[in-house]
Structure 1
Amino acid sequence: MSIISHSIVQRLAHLRATFTEQQVRSRLDGRVEEPLSRALRSARRVSAASIGRLWEAIRATRPEAAEVEGVLADGETRETAERYAANIENMIGAVKVPVGVVGPVRINGLNANGDFIVPLATTEAALVASYARGAELASRAGGIAAVMLTEGVLRSPGFKFANVLDAGLFLEWVVHASEDLRAAAEATTRYGRLVSIEPLMDNEIVFLLCRYTTGDASGQNMVTIATEALCRHIETHCPIRPLHWFIEANYSGDKKSTYLGLTSGRGRKVTASVTLPRALVEKYLHVSVERFLDYAQMANLGAMLSGQLGAQGHYANGLAAFYIATGQDAACVSESAIGFTRVESRNGDLFISVTLPNILVGSVGGGTGLPSQAAALRLLGLQGPGKAAALAEVVASLCLCGEISIIGALAAGEFASAHRKLARER
């Protein structure tokens, strides 16, 4: 019997039946003689006219464009096109994602305090229902305690020197010039503050991990512009010249799941917890506290054996739906969705907590000013200045609700039936 994976053997057989060897070589050589269509470009300023010009160009090469233009570029989208100008290039319309609500979620946070209606944008059936179940249970138990612990968005420029001695002399200069570097960075922003520079040296290469607070914005663009100013100051004033440098040398963990993000955070670090009375667990989750704990113990082992960064059930589900609904950078889910869910028995009741070190959200800036996203933040009651810390506590509380529900469903043996009922049979 062959020890080669059966799936590989099947795939090779399929390819053999579909293509000749010459066809494969022809397709993969990367040289197509047909002339390339003209690249689609629009004016930098988004408007109904610029959308129209792009669709005209698309129709010239894609006959099916006439059928979809009215869906993506409906009248309302064209009329409000200029509101999207700061958020996208080559705009041809807008995609509608259904929005559901969870709540009211009672949150007893240091910044988010009260009952919140939380909007979630998703195409995944059963997701909103699951988070809503966890929210109702947590709220009936008295509410969720939530605290934003720390904040600090990172950018990590890298510098290469001729040798390790120059790298060391550069680090010495940075130590003495740190206040000047802070001034150069902060001169680019009204709200950003450079709170630390943490060097990492690898022989002749030096990384400067620059940590910023960003006011009420998520702050990705803010810290990029500030760090460029910092690097330009180094380029102009440092007597030890690098051979070359880059504004982001892939050490900060931007839009990636990293151990650095897990241990030191790259956004707003938030923790949330609730103690669920035994009677409520049995009523709403249809499972005993003991069985809930049995599942959590096995799931933690699974997380450890698979090399998960942290240990949790499905933060990404709630984060992605919340980020899309409220105009956050959806790509940041990749780093936000790491952390730890902890479950314990407390005098026969069930204590559950979540800690997420990389919540990247803002109540201003980015996509938060777009029509639908601004409306979602208004519904939440957290649009505008002074609301970002509360927003982060809501996000952690939302993830806690999701953990309560999914662990309960898996422990009770209802996970598959819930998806069958809500996603397939409805």
Structure 2
Amino acid sequence: MPRDAIQTQGFLAHLLQNQSKGELLKRLEPNWEPPAAKVPGGARITPEIVARRWKRLALAPEIRAALLGDLDPATLASFGRNIENFIGVARLPIGLAGPLRVNGLFAQGDYLLPLATTEAALVASYHRGASLLSQAGGCSSMLLAEGVSRAPGFAFQTAREAGLFVAWAMESLERIRGAADATSRYARLKDLRITIEGNHVYLLLEFQTGDASGQNMATIATEAVCALVAAESPVTPEYFFVEANMSGDKKASAQSFLGVRGKKVTAEAIIPAELVEKILHTTPLRMTDYWRMSALGGVLSGTIGVQGHYANGLAALYIACGQDAACIAESAVGVTRFEVREDGALYAAVTLPNLMVGTIGGGTGLPTQHACLELMGLAGAGKARALAEVCAGMVLAGELSIIGALAAGEFTSAHKKLARGKEQSKEGDNHD
């Protein structure tokens, strides 16, 4: 019998242990009783508003203390542009990895990496990888391209009308660019790609957004383009949407490697065999054997890109530094590659086409997130490209460490030691 059928039978048997089918189905019917009272909403944050919200919640004082604590009015006010219905903060531990030496086009130097995570062993792993790269002279990291996309979609009665619209759009490219660029001091429409599907037209608009991650900028600029279409197109769309799900926003997509969304970066390093053996307790050959098998495993499972755990380090850094954590879905797409050189050294490289990072705007101005960027020396204008190159270097460090652990047969023991708490590291045991 197919495995899925066996699992389904077991699940149904579990559900019907203490109730009939009728009772089970009744649980799924609509419930028309009046809902619980709503908590007061809104984006304004003052001590009085927050107190009223907590009074309505009527929860134990220790829950309020854990979530709200003794935040002062100035700190409360700093959250006003980043959250609605505010009740408190989620406190995550931040660990420090590095320093990581980056030899980039924009990032130059040794960078500390603040990582906010609840996953034990993660910081230790990236710390080890950063130490390995730094002792090997650092990684070379290069920004290759940048751009933030939005893809409005327009529906027409026929494909003929869609074609006429496309012809007008091509003739009106400067008008479209002017409408988009007028919405911001920073956002600039860089390119436009057109896809026709029957009587639907998708415009993939690509923007430059300065040092901001730029998704809100791109959305507002795209809305202006849609308004221009509605006002001036000789063929009126039956309807349109500001985003028709073709931009790749917050999802891994096959088009990742065909262009860029955010910042496309590659990082590489050549690591002597003796350094691999000293720090990772394995050999370049065994690491390459693992990489080859894992690449095929990725192909067999249908992954987009081939990599070990980009999301681990990126999510931790994004949360610590005020980036849009949901963008991990696209930012963690990429390719890791290992080779053994003629002299026995390990060549390692990562390429990430969709790093969505910024050093201004969004959550980068929040107190702890701004502090983490300051700690890295990457807060404020003019630093976003360097941040992207550091991110690629950090990802390379993480790939080297985790693959080294798997190749050396130490992956399980490391997690037992650090994640299970069986053995606590002594003061000064920093996993270098």
Change in CA separation of 1:275 and 1:181 when aligned onto 2, cut-off 3 Å = same
Q: What code does the residue aligned with 1:399 have?
A: V
Q: What code does the residue aligned with 2:292 have?
A: Q
**Secondary structure of the equivalent of 1:379?**
helix
For residues 48 and 117 of structure 2, what CA distance do their matches in structure 1 show?
A: 30
Q: Which residue of 1 aligns with 2:360?
A: 364
Q: Which residue of 2 aligns with 1:94?
A: 89
- Greater helix content: 1
Q: Which residue of 1 aligns with 2:35?
A: 36
Change in CA separation of 1:246 and 1:33 when aligned onto 2, cut-off 3 Å = closer
Query: Structure 2 length as normaliser, TM-score?
Result: 0.95
Query: Structure 1 length as normaliser, TM-score?
Result: 0.97
For residues 71 and 236 of structure 1, what CA distance do their matches in structure 2 show?
A: 52
- Report the Cα offset of residue 344 of structure 1: 0.5
**Correspondences of 1:123-272 after superposition (within 5 Å):** 123-272=118-267
1:308 paired to 2:307: no
- Report the Cα offset of residue 77 of structure 1: 5.5
Q: Which residue of 2 aligns with 1:333?
A: 328
**Correspondences of 1:38-57 after superposition (within 5 Å):** 38-57=37-56
- Report the Cα offset of residue 5 of structure 1: 3.9
- Report the Cα offset of residue 79 of structure 1: 5.0
For residues 264 and 416 of structure 2, what CA distance do their matches in structure 1 show?
A: 35
Change in CA separation of 1:278 and 1:66 when aligned onto 2, cut-off 3 Å = same
**Secondary structure of the equivalent of 2:267?**
strand
Q: Which residue of 1 aligns with 2:351?
A: 355
**Correspondences of 1:253-292 after superposition (within 5 Å):** 253-292=248-287
Contact kept, 8 Å, 2:43 with 2:86, in 1: the verdict is: no
Superimposed CA distance per residue, residues 255-281 of structure 1 (whole angstroms, 9 cap, x where no aligned partner): 010011232121100000101100000
Contact kept, 8 Å, 1:262 with 1:309, in 2: the verdict is: no
1:378 paired to 2:377: no
Contact kept, 8 Å, 1:42 with 1:53, in 2: the verdict is: no
Contact kept, 8 Å, 2:100 with 2:130, in 1: the verdict is: yes
Q: Which residue of 1 aligns with 2:427?
A: none
For residues 103 and 311 of structure 1, what CA distance do their matches in structure 2 show?
A: 25
For residues 198 and 42 of structure 1, what CA distance do their matches in structure 2 show?
A: 40
Give the % identical residues.
50
Contact kept, 8 Å, 1:278 with 1:350, in 2: the verdict is: yes
For residues 2 and 368 of structure 1, what CA distance do their matches in structure 2 show?
A: 50
- Report the Cα offset of residue 289 of structure 1: 1.4
Q: Which residue of 2 aligns with 1:118?
A: 113
Q: Which residue of 1 aligns with 2:63?
A: 68
- Report the Cα offset of residue 394 of structure 1: 0.5
- Report the Cα offset of residue 42 of structure 1: 2.9
Superimposed CA distance per residue, residues 199-247 of structure 1 (whole angstroms, 9 cap, x where no aligned partner): 0001110000000011000001000000000110111011111100000
Superimposed CA distance per residue, residues 280-322 of structure 1 (whole angstroms, 9 cap, x where no aligned partner): 0001111111111111110011011111101000000001000
Change in CA separation of 1:22 and 1:66 when aligned onto 2, cut-off 3 Å = farther
Q: What code does the residue aligned with 2:336 have?
A: T
Structure 2 unaligned residues grouped into runs of 5+: 425-432
- Report the Cα offset of residue 19 of structure 1: 2.5
Q: Which residue of 2 aligns with 1:106?
A: 101
**Secondary structure of the equivalent of 2:416?**
helix
For residues 4 and 240 of structure 1, what CA distance do their matches in structure 2 show?
A: 51
Change in CA separation of 1:95 and 1:2 when aligned onto 2, cut-off 3 Å = closer
Q: What code does the residue aligned with 2:251 have?
A: K
Contact kept, 8 Å, 1:106 with 1:144, in 2: the verdict is: yes
* Root-mean-square deviation (Å): 1.2
**Secondary structure of the equivalent of 1:369?**
coil
Change in CA separation of 1:307 and 1:77 when aligned onto 2, cut-off 3 Å = farther
For residues 19 and 158 of structure 1, what CA distance do their matches in structure 2 show?
A: 49
For residues 70 and 316 of structure 1, what CA distance do their matches in structure 2 show?
A: 31
